[in-house]
């Protein structure tokens, strides 16, 4: 383990977590986790084989029946204790996440608070799982429903929010009484291992949560999904991989929840408070260096205010401090890897070749680490690739519209449908937009949508299912209908 990890207080064991035990991968293979700020190795972690993944599923299956029958209060209290433990270790977890993922420590602390809240929310939901009782409309019987845990689930998470993407799935699964196999992203497994340790210390029974870190995600998911004992897959990641997992679910007709990519429009109307709109744009674009599925991907601004908005945005973007996430004052860390820098750079170059003008950034940063500067583009042609594709980096393309119908048409002109944002002072317009925008989430005069108490999720190529809110636990519950005589 590298010296850099010393400040993380030995939060994790770099091994597989199976049936409550920490163990090496079969054959003892490991893979490297690196620091995106300079490419240096942080740790070697166990590299699970298909055989290891099956052992994890065995453990989840063995634990399911008893766990599904535990008192809701007991499940609730495990989550509550884990919530407290995460909050108590905010500094260490934030440093760990910053090291393996790159985000500035201050931002990582924000993720710790956000991620922990899913445990508090679902600790409160665990004791409110209820069915219903109703007389049959024609009389003669009573219709009763009861809720049961779905069964063992496979949770697959991405690298961009290493803690919150885990807690957002583990929280409702624990609350509902499901057992799990968690497969974290290979770039950021350390935070998930730390989370498993916290869950173990919080009293989660052996086998309820199993973690398999692996460099062979496709083989592992294929083998687990082919197993009839696995009852559900909850995935957060790219649309491309989501499609593979949905196809793999078809043979067993496994339940699936898919939180996939986005292409969020950010609308600014001519009646908007421009200061607030620029502030919101900075959050919607720059949270997590633009590496968020909710990241504003297209700024659609009324022609009357577009120049003013773009100039102010460019000024703010240019003033951001780029650097290593653990250094004081840094606001923008490195992107996750070289491929990310290359892909963001290519999208910008394609837009510029098509006629876009650069107001800020757009020059690749040399040296070690995977850095890309905050960038603002205007006069972006509709044919530019970044209008259709998820940028996943600190690039803000600005285009214009002239009326509300055009704004809505442009906003909905995407295969995706996750987050959308609109700035306006007109309440009636805001309400119309909420109804007309074909996205799972609409932020009115705000650049931040994520909230553990709200249903997070998308439509179209952004997937299906919701995480958080009252809806989140339903993803892990089955409904059994019981017919009773009227008596
Ligand atoms: P990714 O799809 O490449 O990887 C996500 C996870 O899937 C990782 O754990 C990876 O190891 C695993 N994986 C890859 N191929 C697999 C396969 N064939 N079978 C099983 N697992 C496989 O995505 P990423 O690059 O880690 O994350 C970025 C993407 O995630 C973006 O598209 C982003 O929009 C999306 N995302 C969505 C949400 C949301 O809630 N909608 C949240 C965060 C990120």
Q: Quote the tokens at residue 241.
A: 């991989």
Range list for CATH 3.40.605.10 in the chain: 3-260+462-482
Q: CA 170 to CA 153: how far, in whole Å?
A: 10
Residue nearest atom 19 in ligand 1 by C-alpha distance: 218
Q: What is the pLDDT of residue 1?
A: 79
Distance (angstroms) between ligand 1 centre and the Cα of 242 equals 8
Residue with tokens 């690196």: 34
Please give the full DSSP string across 12-62, using - where no structure is assigned.
--SSEEETTEEEPPGGG-EEEEE-TTT--EEEEEE---HHHHHHHHHHHHH
Assess whether 84 carries a catalytic annotation: no
Distance (angstroms) between ligand 1 centre and the Cα of 255 equals 18
Ligand 1 atom at minimum distance from 156 CA = 9
Catalytic, out of 111, 117, 216, 259: 259
Ligand 1 atom at minimum distance from 222 CA = 19
From 392, 398, 286, 281, select the one nearest 345 (Cα to Cα): 392
Distance (angstroms) between ligand 1 centre and the Cα of 258 equals 10
Q: How many residues does the chain have?
A: 487
What beta strand segments (E) does 184-326 contain? 209-211, 232-236, 255-259, 264-268, 296-302
From 16, 467, 463, 64, select the one nearest 231 (Cα to Cα): 64
Ligand 1 atom at minimum distance from 240 CA = 2
- The complex's ipTM? 0.95
CA dihedral 288, 289, 290, 292 (to 10 degrees): -20
Best residue for ligand 1 mutational test, from 101, 161, 225, 238 (most atoms within 8 Å of Cβ) = 238
Residue with tokens 């620029």: 278
What beta strand segments (E) does 87-184 contain? 133-135, 141-149, 153-156, 180-183
Distance (angstroms) between ligand 1 centre and the Cα of 245 equals 11
For the domain 264-444, what is the CATH code?
3.40.309.10
Q: CA 5 to CA 44: how far, in whole Å?
A: 12
**pLDDT averaged per 10 residues, the chain (length 487):** 81 96 97 96 97 98 98 98 98 97 98 98 98 95 97 98 98 98 98 98 98 98 98 98 98 97 98 98 98 98 98 98 96 96 97 98 87 97 96 98 98 98 98 98 97 98 97 98 91
Ligand 1 atom at minimum distance from 462 CA = 41
Best residue for ligand 1 mutational test, from 241, 440, 451 (most atoms within 8 Å of Cβ) = 241
Residue nearest atom 8 in ligand 1 by C-alpha distance: 185
Is residue 158 within 6 Å of ligand 1 at its C-beta?
yes
Distance (angstroms) between ligand 1 centre and the Cα of 142 equals 45
Strand, helix or coil for residue 270: coil
Distance (angstroms) between ligand 1 centre and the Cα of 186 equals 10
Is residue 290 within 6 Å of ligand 1 at its C-beta?
no
pTM > 0.90 = yes
Q: How far is CA 476 from CA 122, 155, 224, 262, 315, in A?
A: 12, 11, 18, 24, 46
Q: What is the pLDDT of residue 3?
A: 84
Q: What is the pLDDT of residue 355?
A: 97
Distance (angstroms) between ligand 1 centre and the Cα of 249 equals 17
Residue nearest atom 18 in ligand 1 by C-alpha distance: 218
What's domain 3-260+462-482's superfamily in CATH?
Aldehyde Dehydrogenase; Chain A, domain 1 (3.40.605.10)
Best residue for ligand 1 mutational test, from 237, 340, 418 (most atoms within 8 Å of Cβ) = 237
Is residue 260 within 6 Å of ligand 1 at its C-beta?
yes
Q: CA 273 to CA 287: how far, in whole Å?
A: 21
Range list for CATH 3.40.309.10 in the chain: 264-444
Q: What share of the chain is helix, strand, coil (3-state, %, to 5)?
A: 40, 20, 35
């Amino acid at each position: 383990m590298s010296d850099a990890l010393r400040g993380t207080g030995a939060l994790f064991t770099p091994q597989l977590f199976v049936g409550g035990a920490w163990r090496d991968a079969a054959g003892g293979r490991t893979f490297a986790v690196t620091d995106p700020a300079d490419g240096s190795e942080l740790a070697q972690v166990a590299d699970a084989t298909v055989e290891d993944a099956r052992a994890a599923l065995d453990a989840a299956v063995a634990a399911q029946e008893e766990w599904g029958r535990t008192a809701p209060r007991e499940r609730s209290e495990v989550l509550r204790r884990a919530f407290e433990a995460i909050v108590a270790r905010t500094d260490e977890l934030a440093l760990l996440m910053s090291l393996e993922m790159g985000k500035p420590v201050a931002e990582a602390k924000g993720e710790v608070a956000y991620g922990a809240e899913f445990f508090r929310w679902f600790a409160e939901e665990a004791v409110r799982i209820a069915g219903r009782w109703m007389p049959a409309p024609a009389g003669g019987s009573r219709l009763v429903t009861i809720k049961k845990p779905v069964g063992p689930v496979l949770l697959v998470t991405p690298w961009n929010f290493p803690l919150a993407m885990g807690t957002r799935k583990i929280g409702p699964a624990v609350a509902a009484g499901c057992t799990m196999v968690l497969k974290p992203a290979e770039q950021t497994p350390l935070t998930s291992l730390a989370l498993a340790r916290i869950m173990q210390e919080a009293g989660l029974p052996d086998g309820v949560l199993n973690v398999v870190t692996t460099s062979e995600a496709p083989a592992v998911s294929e083998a687990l999904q082919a197993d009839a004992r696995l009852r559900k897959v909850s995935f957060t990641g790219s649309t491309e991989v989501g499609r593979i997992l949905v196809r793999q679910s078809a043979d067993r007709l496994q339940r699936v929840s898919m939180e996939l990519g986005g292409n969020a429009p950010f609308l600014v109307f001519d009646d908007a408070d421009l200061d607030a709109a620029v502030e919101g744009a900075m959050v919607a674009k720059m949270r997590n260096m633009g590496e968020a599925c909710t990241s504003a991907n297209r700024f659609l601004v009324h022609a009357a205010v577009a120049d003013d908005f773009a100039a102010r945005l460019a000024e703010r973007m240019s003033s951001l401090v780029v650097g290593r996430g653990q250094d004081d004052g840094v606001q923008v860390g490195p992107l996750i890897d070289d491929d990310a820098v290359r892909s963001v750079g290519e999208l910008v170059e394609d837009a510029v070749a098509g006629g876009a003008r650069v107001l800020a950034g757009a020059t690749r940063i040399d040296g070690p680490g995977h850095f890309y500067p905050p960038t603002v583009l205007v006069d972006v042609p509709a044919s530019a690739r970044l209008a259709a594709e998820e940028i996943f980096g600190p690039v803000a393309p600005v285009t214009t519209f002239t009326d509300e119908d055009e704004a809505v048409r442009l906003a909905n002109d995407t295969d995706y449908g996750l987050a959308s944002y609109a700035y306006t002072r007109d309440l009636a317009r805001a309400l119309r937009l909420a109804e007309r925008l074909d996205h799972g989430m609409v932020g009115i005069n705000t650049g931040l949508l994520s909230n553990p108490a709200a249903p997070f999720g998308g439509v179209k190529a952004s997937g299906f299912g919701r995480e958080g809110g009252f809806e989140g636990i339903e993803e892990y519950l089955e409904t059994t209908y019981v017919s009773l005589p009227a008596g």
